[in-house]
Amino acid sequence: MTYCTPEDVADTMDLPDSNDPNGNDLFSDVSHPSYRQVCRMIVSNENQIDMRTHRSWKENQVKNMLLTINDYWHDINGWRSDYYAEGGSYIQLRRNVRTWDPSKGDKLEIRTRMNQWADISQYINGGDIDAEPTELMDSWSFWFDYPYGKLYLKLRLYQQRYNAARITYRYGSEEPVPAAINRLCCLMTASQIMNMQAFYVRVGGGGDISGVKDGIIRSWQEEAGAIFSSYQRAGVVRGTLR
């Protein structure tokens, strides 16, 4: 769990219940839902938030992703200036790639001739895009535009195009989780819990939320929708020639 905790969700739902004489109506191993169930809800909602906002504030890992490396630019345009100017063959990964670190499982392999895989994880150039192209072509080199998730490669003697590279990498913003995302995850989880029959019988049956449950859930969902709208990005608007 990264975006919120069961304790955050309990605060959102104003638990422990002020009407509970023992004051201990928090999530536990014997509560309904249990602490473990709430944890699972939170993890599921974190994934939904990432999918809907196309962003992530936690560390995720992509394993053994096969990549297509385009032919050299001169094969298409008849000259290499674009290849050099663009810093090598360009491949789009997920945004906010984490700093490359093979000790954390990051790995880049290139398919060479005879259908063999060569591990070039240690050949990262460190983002030295200003280096002379001829120097970079002397050995396998690659670097990242981390925020935009762009991988640049300058390679020799590899099997070009389809399934030419295989990569394991981590992505996700390293900035602190925004307060709005924390609130959004709490609202989504709290709404799910409120709709659970076991919770309703345990807490709402005594009149604590009877008659107002639907209104509470509706207000939470409206607030969650507003937060989603503020984080979802619109596509680029392009005009048409007239």
Question: Does residue 184 belong to any structural domain of this protein?
Answer: yes
For residues 66 and 201, give the distance between their C-alpha atoms in angstroms, rounded to a whole number: 50
Q: What does each of the 242 residues of the chain score in pLDDT, given as a tens digit?
A: 999 999 999 999 887 655 555 555 678 887 888 899 999 999 999 999 999 988 899 999 999 999 888 655 444 554 455 555 555 677 889 989 999 999 999 999 988 877 888 888 888 874 454 555 445 444 567 888 899 898 988 776 566 667 889 999 999 999 999 999 999 999 999 999 988 865 655 555 445 555 567 777 888 888 898 888 888 764 444 444 44
Number of domains in the chain: 2
Q: 134 vs 85, 125, 140, 154, CA distance in Å?
A: 12, 14, 12, 10
For residues 210 and 125, give the distance between their C-alpha atoms in angstroms, rounded to a whole number: 62
One domain, residues 40 and 77 = no
For residues 70 and 161, give the distance between their C-alpha atoms in angstroms, rounded to a whole number: 5
Domain that holds residue 185: 6-56+177-231
Question: Does residue 69 belong to any structural domain of this protein?
Answer: yes
For residues 140 and 142, give the distance between their C-alpha atoms in angstroms, rounded to a whole number: 7
Question: Does residue 162 belong to any structural domain of this protein?
Answer: yes
One domain, residues 69 and 91 = yes
> What is the model's pTM?
0.70
For residues 129 and 59, give the distance between their C-alpha atoms in angstroms, rounded to a whole number: 26
One domain, residues 75 and 154 = yes
Question: Does residue 236 belong to any structural domain of this protein?
Answer: no
One domain, residues 91 and 114 = yes
One domain, residues 46 and 68 = no
For residues 185 and 182, give the distance between their C-alpha atoms in angstroms, rounded to a whole number: 5
